[in-house]
Amino acid sequence: MHTTKIAGVGHYVPENIVKNADLEMIMETSDAWIQERTGIKERRWVPQDSDDTPSVMGTKAARKAIADAGLEVTDIDFIVFATLSPDYYFPGPGVMVQEQLGLPEIGALDVRNQCSGFIYGLSVADQFIKTGMYKNILLIGSELHSGGLDKTTRGRGVSVIFGDGAGAVVLSRAQEGEGKIHTTKLHSEGKHAKELALLGPSTTNWVDAMIEAQDPEDLSYYPYMNGNFVFKHAVTRFQEVIHEALAELDKKPEDIDLLIPHQANLRISQFIQQKMGLRNDQVFNNIQKYGNTTAASIPIALSEAKAEGRIKPGQLLCLAAFGSGFTWGSSLIQF
Ligand code: ACO
């Protein structure tokens, strides 16, 4: 059995910064409300005329991660792409990255686990490397939320939270003494699927029926989130799944060098930090700058944390996520 290391990290965010004050101009909201409830000061939103799409942003992040790993693009032998905002309904963006990077006809897998997508993808890639099937896997999390949000007062409970961007890692077969993915833990609870979802158009909300109805009050085109309900589940599940991973390794919260939680809401991260008794220097947050970028939030944070010198080789890293599905997961990694 082989072991998997994180060989390289990279991220890309669109240039266009949307501050809370900019949102005050288009909906009834305030910088004070957004900062107090979420910690978010600004986010990146791709302008409508931009060439950036989830696959294009993912490819930009991927090139940086491949360079960071000291590899050539042609060393990549498999792609895993996690997103809830794919370029198209189908096909998924994994194949577009294969094309954009000019790779030969390698496999490309799309992961549909929303905020937990990066950790689900990490787990899949880890198994492929452990068995020896692949040697260097490109794992991307990329999101373009801004094109699908209700940016009116009606949608403010959701739209102020989400941002665009992409992060990528290269996962490689490790040599003795190098980094290691110790474990990944994955969970789901589908009974809450509709508490955080985009329901239409889909195979249950038929396009024909929606076109025929032409109902301007039909909100199923936009993401729906039962914010309070999601918040309450998130704070419990984050802690559970981190403890589950720590228990497997016989470790305690104080052994974590850096926790990178999915950037859902700064208040959620702070609640977990406090409940687990973690110091400020043990937790990484950047939601203030980017908002919630769902599947992209952990790899963007990982890339920034490395660039800032917050993670060093040999340190114990904990990743954790919770989101739509509900799905949640964690991973303990020796960097
Ligand atoms: N600006 C001003 N007022 C607002 C805004 C806004 N942007 N949004 C909502 N409000 C108002 C509401 O209308 C409501 O007013 P009312 O009391 O007059 O009815 C009031 O503020 C309170 O609204 P709540 O929704 O109860 O606010 P809450 O404190 O729950 O905060 C939030 C909302 C920030 C969304 C929070 O619930 C949250 O962060 N939830 C978790 C989000 C999350 O973790 N998602 C999972 C990941 S995402 C994924 O997987 C796709």
320 SS3 class: strand
Pocket test for ligand 1, best of 19, 29, 265, 292 (most atoms within 8 A of CB): 265
Residue owning tokens 């801004």: 146
Q: What is the pLDDT of residue 217?
A: 87
- DSSP code string of 60-113: HHHHHHHHHTT--GGG--EEEEE-SS-SSSSS-THHHHHHHTT--S-EEEEE--
According to the model, what pLDDT value does residue 216 have?
Answer: 86
Tell me whether residue 262 is one of the annotated catalytic residues: yes
pLDDT at residue 8, as a whole number? 98
Q: Kindly state the tokens that stand for 194.
A: 């509709």
> Ligand 1: distance of its center to the CA of 202 in Å?
26
- Does residue 14 contact residue 50 with C-beta atoms inside 8 Å? yes
Sheet architecture: strand order including 78-82: 4-12, 165-173, 136-143, 78-82, 107-111
Residues in the chain predicted with pLDDT less than 50, given as ranges, are none
Q: Is 196 in the pocket of ligand 1 (CB under 6 A)?
A: yes
Nearest to 263 by CA among 235, 287, 231, 288: 287
Given this model, what pLDDT does residue 233 score?
98
Is 292 one of the catalytic residues? Answer: yes
Provide the whole-model pTM. 0.97
Cβ–ligand 1 contact at 113 (below 6 Å): no
Q: Which of 11, 136, 292, 318 is catalytic?
A: 292
Contacts of 3 (CB under 8 A, 6+ apart): 129, 130, 173, 174, 178, 180, 181
H/E segment holding residue 161: none
Pick the CATH number of 180-334 from 3.40.50.720, 3.40.47.10, 2.40.220.10, 3.40.50.2300: 3.40.47.10
CB of 228 shorter than 6 A to ligand 1? yes
CATH 3.40.47.10, the chain: domain bounds? 4-173, 180-334
> What pLDDT is attached to residue 200?
87
Which atom in ligand 1 lies closest to the alpha carbon of residue 157? 8
Q: Which CATH architecture has domain 4-173?
A: 3-Layer(aba) Sandwich (3.40)
DSSP helix/strand/coil, 2? coil
- Secondary structure element (H or E) that encloses residue 312, with its range: none
Alpha-carbon distance 297 to 301, whole Å? Answer: 6
pLDDT score at 201: 86
